[in-house]
Structure 1
Amino acid sequence: MQELSTELLEKSILGTMMQENHLILDSDIRAEMFLSHTNRAIFQGMKQLANANKPVDYITLLTEVDLGEAGANDLTTLASFANLEKFEDYTELFMNGWRERQKISLLYEAQAENWTIDQIQTRLDQLLTNTATIETSIDDDLIAISERPFYPEDTSNIIPVNIKGLAKLITGFRQGEVTIIAGRPSMGKTDVMNYFALCAGLNGYLPIIFSLEMNRRMLLDRLIALKGNISRLKMRNPYKYFSQKQKDEWMNVLSDIKKANIHIDDRAGLTVSQMRAQIRKVMKKYPEKKPIIFIDYLQIIACEEYRQNQYLNIAYISSQLKVMAKDFECPIVCLAQLNRAVESRHNKRPVMSDLRDSGNIEQDADVIIFLFRESYYEQWQSEQANQPKPEYESLEFIVAKNRNGPTGIAYAKYYKTTGRIVEKVGEEAEV
């Protein structure tokens, strides 16, 4: 039964690699890890073609690689086992099975040759780390940075935030880093996400949004309102409520948003593994663009494994987001909810302990930004006093954690009816 399940795992991995050729060289899998000799031969053929920068498919494997009769027969069925969405899960199971077989073999060898405890421990440590090898010497790194003080810093890997006050604190979104943007419901989190996504897209980056709460149409309406400076109330029925000028500008607004090349996945209940699969797919389509990932929002990401409580689930998901940011070498900007404790305090500006089901968020995140509007709490009083609503509200970006820089507060103008965010002081920088 064990050999049967291993065979199915191997077939699924090989079938997925035939569909997504980049996985052949990206993964840490080696030919000797396959239990089936036929599957081992197929993988060796795949790697041979991939290293030669040739396409890997049914035809090329049959014509350019000698797989033998058994390998040729198995090729015809591999496509039916492919599952890109679960590739990482299956790969982990495959690697665990290989390690277990290696461990058993190692212990038999240790018994036969009467190894010491230290020898056994050393070999077990090697087994855990030999699935991926890297160069650990820092000599080349020192040479690479030797001229750093004499030339301007390369900022191509930092995605701009387009808010000067915030840029002074965090510079921008950095590759491999996780930024948490947290606030109470209706504080403006989604509008801030849209603003940053649009800015990134129009600056030539690849924004990928996972909208776990809001559907694609609603999010798109918000993007249009933001870019076109259109009241969201009018977006409910543009034919009825748009002015003639807004109708005339409609196609220009859509064209501008198209230039941003934003991708939206609005499936509910996504896991981090499912997000990884989708990110790979989009990145493969635009290999020349650097991605930035947006997630709305942390507490409703589905957990792959059941845990005792939500706190442990969030801790696991938080660590997975950090791993994903490092693996893809891209920034991840994830929205998060704050708990209700902030409402009971006189000073309602958020602090770290207000993060809902915080888990390891404080530890894993590189940057934590709280959103705060004083008017959010003054709205009821102004409505009771029949005071006119202001044109814009003051929005605070409270940088509470910054692993690579200072903390502090940046200010912006927030136009709630359209979702626009502009500089609080000086020239208004629009997207």
Structure 2
Amino acid sequence: MNEAARRIVPMAKDQGDATYREAPNNLEAEQALLGAILVNNDAFYRVSDFLKPVHLNEPLHRKIFEVAGDIIRMGKTANPVTIKTFLKADEKVGDMTVAQYLARLASEAVSIINAEDYGRAIYDLALRRSLITIGEDMVNIAYDAPLDMPPQSQIEDAERRLFELAETGRYDGGFQAFNDAVALAIDMAGQAFERDGHLSGISSGIQSLDARMGGLQRSDLIVLAGRPGMGKTSLATNIAWNVAHAYEPEVQADGSFKARNGGVVGFYSLEMSSEQLATRIISEQTDVSSSKIRRGDISEAEFEKLVGFSQTMQKTPLYIDQTGGISIAQLSARARRLKRQRGLDCLVVDYIQLMTGSGKSSDNRVQEITQITTGLKALGKELNVPIIALSQLSRQVESREDKRPQLSDLRESGSIEQDADVVLFVFREEYYVKNMEPRDEFDPKYEEWKQKFEAVKGTADVIIAKQRHGPTGTVKLAFQSEFTRFTDLADPSFTQYEEH
């Protein structure tokens, strides 16, 4: 059967000094697996979660596997009779017709028990062929690289391709069949139905924000912006902790883990050290103010709360990288490594303006920011995770009477607005009203100021200025400044969001 399947006989292995090496493959394993599937369609489900048609080396075997899969998914029986109508009748396999070849595959089938072992062998050989291709490309590019292509960019490209191969079993992008895209969309809907809160994305832990956004959507670039003092870092740490603390792993068929709820979070803290960030999170979760923690001005009961919470933190999959001035290339490389080693479901970058581009140093900061936001968007799609990127706003906000931020206030580049799938602004009117307090409490305007301050005290607005998947609007949240904590408003009569 093996000889009949081969249409091209390999050249002699020795031709003078030239040595012929055939790409790794196992024709017999492919035949055995296909035979098992044709005899018992249950064999297909033993390998379908990791093995795709492209992993088979023989083109005819790819077609048989693909057709069989389509027939089985439709709830019909795949056998030599039903499959042969979808293949070229006049095609020859050695001295046999395709129909005869299918019949022979079924007649010499092995037990269904061995199907998964054969599938794994075929998959591993496909990975080795892909590794060979990547290696050959690396060598050829290194020999013939143009002058304007630095070696670092080749390293980044090779790393990206290797990561994609490790994650998906193939590194080439290209077109995707629409029915595959539909299947992914249905899977996403099914996961949303099973997930807590019925969200299509990962829950931020803040219900009123999730109600408007449907959670943090995978592959989205979410820009979280605000003026200093508004609490954008606090909101980012709140969300990062909520996602990591809610993490519930689920074992997949291949032995890997996937988040059923919550997720593994990577936090790039370019402004604060990891200790400062940890202090913030501890303060948020224990109701002990961060200033008291830093001064050591805490009671024994508060200290016990801190120790108890630190044990919880040790089990929480929140990973912090405090490298200052990190480049988009370094950030991408470390994110790929984290996903490969620990898993990754959400990424936070605090903040965009402290990053550097990957290319040559340039005086044009706008171009550099464009390179960073484009790189973040591409990374989110590659890793299939939401990226929350914090951003500064320009000072022109302060010169306006209405201090509410607008998309035009995003600092340094229109690419931030363009590349982002979602733009959120954090606005605390309390901050501005507090600074307008009359010095004299007997001033006639003092009572008017006091009423206005009480109305906005302890509240914050998260303005959804842009959202590709849903409506814009304003979400009202509670903000406890001493613990830098954002939560849902306790009073249900308070309008949680206003449509724009």
- TM above 0.5: yes
Give the alignment of 1:248-287 within 5 angstroms: 248-287=304-343
User: Matches of 1:25 and 1:177 in 2, distance apart?
Assistant: 32
Name the counterpart of 1:413: 478
Name the counterpart of 1:219: 277
- Residue 356 (structure 1) aligned to one of 411, 415, 423: 411
Q: TM-score, normalised by structure 2?
A: 0.58
Matched residues, percent identical?
26
CA contact (8 A) 2:205 2:243 kept: no
The structural deviation recorded for 1:176 is 0.5
Instruction: Give the 3 Å change call, closer, same or farther, for CA 29–218 of structure 1 in structure 2.
Output: farther
- Residue 247 (structure 1) aligned to one of 303, 311, 336: 303
Name the counterpart of 2:167: none
Amino acid in the other structure paired with 2:301: K
User: Matches of 1:26 and 1:409 in 2, distance apart?
Assistant: 48
Q: Is the partner of 2:462 in helix, strand or coil?
A: strand
Q: Please, which runs of 5 or more residues in structure 2 have no aligned partner? A: 1-126, 144-150, 161-170, 248-262, 493-500
- Residue 337 (structure 1) aligned to one of 389, 392, 406: 392
User: Matches of 2:185 and 2:158 in 1, distance apart?
Assistant: 39
Q: Given the alignment of the two structures, is residue 158 of structure 1 paired with residue 201 of structure 2, yes or no?
A: yes
CA contact (8 A) 2:191 2:200 kept: no
User: Matches of 2:339 and 2:207 in 1, distance apart?
Assistant: 29
Name the counterpart of 2:181: 141
Q: Given the alignment of the two structures, is residue 190 of structure 1 paired with residue 190 of structure 2, yes or no?
A: no
- The CA deviation string for residues 347-385 of structure 1, in whole angstroms up to 9 with x for no partner, is 110000000112311111000000101111112223735
User: Matches of 2:267 and 2:458 in 1, distance apart?
Assistant: 26
CA contact (8 A) 2:270 2:323 kept: yes
Name the counterpart of 2:488: 423
Amino acid in the other structure paired with 1:406: P
- The CA deviation string for residues 188-216 of structure 1, in whole angstroms up to 9 with x for no partner, is 01111110010000111111111111111
Amino acid in the other structure paired with 1:33: D
The structural deviation recorded for 1:423 is 1.2
Instruction: Give the 3 Å change call, closer, same or farther, for CA 368–284 of structure 1 in structure 2.
Output: same
User: Matches of 2:299 and 2:131 in 1, distance apart?
Assistant: 54
Q: TM-score, normalised by structure 1?
A: 0.67
Aligned residues: 320
- Residue 401 (structure 1) aligned to one of 466, 491, 499: 466
Give the alignment of 1:14-413 within 5 angstroms: 30-35=134-139, 89-92=154-157, 132-142=172-182, 153=193, 158-204=201-247, 205-238=263-296, 241-287=297-343, 290-305=344-359, 306-382=361-437, 384=439, 393-413=458-478
Q: Compute the RMSD of aligned alpha carbons.
A: 3.4
Q: Higher RCO, 1 or 2 (CA under 8 Å, sep at least 6)?
A: 1
CA contact (8 A) 2:266 2:346 kept: yes
User: Matches of 2:186 and 2:340 in 1, distance apart?
Assistant: 34
Amino acid in the other structure paired with 1:138: F
Amino acid in the other structure paired with 1:216: S
The structural deviation recorded for 1:153 is 4.0
The structural deviation recorded for 1:320 is 0.5
User: Matches of 2:350 and 2:191 in 1, distance apart?
Assistant: 38
Q: Is the partner of 2:241 in helix, strand or coil?
A: helix
The structural deviation recorded for 1:408 is 0.5
CA contact (8 A) 1:198 1:257 kept: no
The structural deviation recorded for 1:398 is 0.1
CA contact (8 A) 1:412 1:423 kept: yes
Q: Which has the larger radius of gyration?
A: 2
CA contact (8 A) 1:89 1:273 kept: no
User: Matches of 2:282 and 2:384 in 1, distance apart?
Assistant: 29
The structural deviation recorded for 1:157 is 6.3
- The CA deviation string for residues 87-119 of structure 1, in whole angstroms up to 9 with x for no partner, is 765254999xxxxxxxxxxxxxxxxxxxxxxxx
Amino acid in the other structure paired with 2:276: M
